[in-house]
Structure 1
Amino acid sequence: MTSDSHVVVIPSYNTGRILVDTIREALKHWQPVWLFVDGSTDDSFRCFLDSPEDWPGLSVFVSSENEGKGATAIRAAKEAEHAGFTHMLLMDADGQHPAKEIARFMGLSRSAPEAMILGQPVYGDDAPWVRLAGRQLSVGMVWLETLGGGVGDPLVGFRVYPVKALLEAADNTRFARRYDFDPEMAVRLFWRGTRPIRARISVIYVSPEAGGISHFHYLRDNLFMIWLHLRLIIAFIPKCIRVAQLSRHFRSLEKAGS
């Protein structure tokens, strides 16, 4: 499917050989696809630059420095707005997210263009238990920061953003430039009145033998998330009445199925 309003954005940092498979699958299900290379040093993206004629529908943006997922996503949103796109679907480059779900998520976004469409994970037996245990902190804290307003799991990076709302939310914080991007943007967009719509997706953990690469560090990144939620809780306190109103409103919309 092609679109002049919705674009697929895939940030990549040293993704390795699985990047080619991710891009190929994304292009099967949607065009245009934008690849944002965030300071990669492994040349995993080189084939797209050397033979662009083999990748119709793909645009490649290369940064020489590693700025982080959040900074890359914000840069992509600015490029999307400049190009006239109203929405972007963000997905990981490491093969965790099923490209076959792109069209379904884009359809949900077209039906509710004011909303953010948030992937809700369904894990298989390949999911490391230590990752599942650690993410429960963010799930619980975001429930508190939105008073149960419907964000659900805030860490899955497969989601559709309204570009203008995303840029406005990003302008309100100097953080959310690295791995804190996904949970912080979900919360800040909620606070701004962007409705969350949840949609289930299967999340795959690709083994190293199959080309899977993870840049996740359990201790460092979980400490980073603790700091994130301390910041959000402090910012939440003066907004709590407004957040309670939004939570009731969004829950009523979800209950009504509208």
Structure 2
Amino acid sequence: MYKLAFLIPHFNHSTKLAKMIEILKKYECDILIVDDASKDEHKDALNQLNVSVLYRQNNGGKGAAFKDGIRHLSRLGFTHVLQIDADMQHDLSVIDEFIKLSKLNPCSLVCGAPKYGNDAPKSRLYGRKITNFWVAINTLNMSIKDAMCGFRIYPVDLTLRVISACRADRMDFDIEILYLLLRSDANVIWMDVKVCYDSDGVSHFRAFRDNLAISKTHAKYFLSLPKYFFKKVMS
């Protein structure tokens, strides 16, 4: 049986959540917000939303929040989770299409392939191109459209099989969990999703810290590429 929940990692982004939750409730799916130790005023705002909230004691990053959330939803019997970033950068009107595609391919990971407008920072675009290149090389998979998009439907069982090996907890999480799933031969389906960058948007991306973590992730999988290549050849 296919049972989907929305999973929203959250850290000090409550200003847009009320609008997001209003949209998500139309789909009659359970909604879980995992609060990553936000400030009190943001926690107070979450209490007004009438959805399930899982509170983390310490800030660990969106990856840490996702891991807690998917394990919690697994215990409740959910088979799939749609991860949505709390900043509302992604076009939520595509949710119906994502869910339909996931139901037709329940064993596959459905990933957003971002379509950017003129408001997208050039540094982000270049950074994503570099990441997509390295993920393609390190997984021997040339079909990678975007390795950083936080809009995905994960099959719960498939994801839990690899998540204990995922050391990334912050902005490098979306990259490493994709590395692990691709190297475990998970099937990935890509679907376009528009992305917008509001002028008043709040970003938790820290250039030095997060770029360093992402670089370390690529290096780790590059160093293990010969072993992975040998395994692929022998299988």
TM-score band by shorter chain is: over 0.9
Taking structure 1 as reference, are residues 219 and 48 closer, same or farther at Cα in structure 2, changes over 3 Å only? closer
Choose which of 197, 202, 205 in structure 2 pairs with 1:205: 197
Distance 1:38 1:240 in 2: 37
Task: Give CA deviations for 1:74-131 in whole Å, capped at 9, x if unaligned.
Answer: 1111111100011101010001112222221111111111110010000011111111
> Residue in 1 aligned with 2:227?
238
Task: Report the identity percentage.
Answer: 31
Look up the equivalent residue of 2:199 and give its one-letter code.
S
Contact 1:87 1:163 (8 Å CA) reproduced: yes
Asked whether the equivalents of residues 90 and 157 of structure 1 are also in contact (C-alpha less than 8 Å), the reply is yes
- 8 A contact 2:171–2:205 mirrored in 1: no
SS across alignment from 1:61: strand
* Equivalent residue for 2:63, pick from 61, 64, 70: 70
Query: CA offset at residue 207 of structure 1?
Result: 1.7
Distance 2:43 2:198 in 1: 19
Indicate conservation of the 8 Å contact 1:6/1:89, yes or no.
yes
Does the CA contact (< 8 Å) of 1:150 and 1:198 recur in 2? no
Q: Within 1, Cα distance between the matches of 2:83 and 2:116?
A: 19
Partner of 1:221: 210
Structure 1 stretches of 5 or more lacking a match? 247-258
**Corresponding position of 2:90:** 97
Cα separation, 2, equivalents of 1:185 and 1:62: 22
Q: TM-score with structure 1 length normalisation?
A: 0.84
2:191 maps to amino acid? A
Question: Does 2:39 correspond to 1:41?
Answer: yes
- Structure 2 CA distance, aligned partners of 1:145 and 1:107? 30
**C-alpha deviation, 1:244, in angstroms:** 6.7
- Match of 1:125, SS? coil
Aligned to 1:125: 118
In structure 2, the CA distance between the partners of 1:42 and 1:24, relative to structure 1 (3 Å rule), is farther
SS in 2 for 1:44: helix
For the 8 Å contact 1:13–1:40, the answer to whether it is kept is yes
Alignment partners' CA distance in 1, 2:114 and 2:208: 22
Gap regions ≥5 residues in structure 2: none
1:179 aligns to 2:177 (yes or no): no
| Counterpart residue type for residue 69 of structure 1 | K
Task: Determine whether 1:84 maps to 2:73.
Answer: no
Report the Cα offset of residue 30 of structure 1.
4.7
SS at match of 2:41: coil
Equivalent residues of 1:30, 1:102 under 8 A apart: no
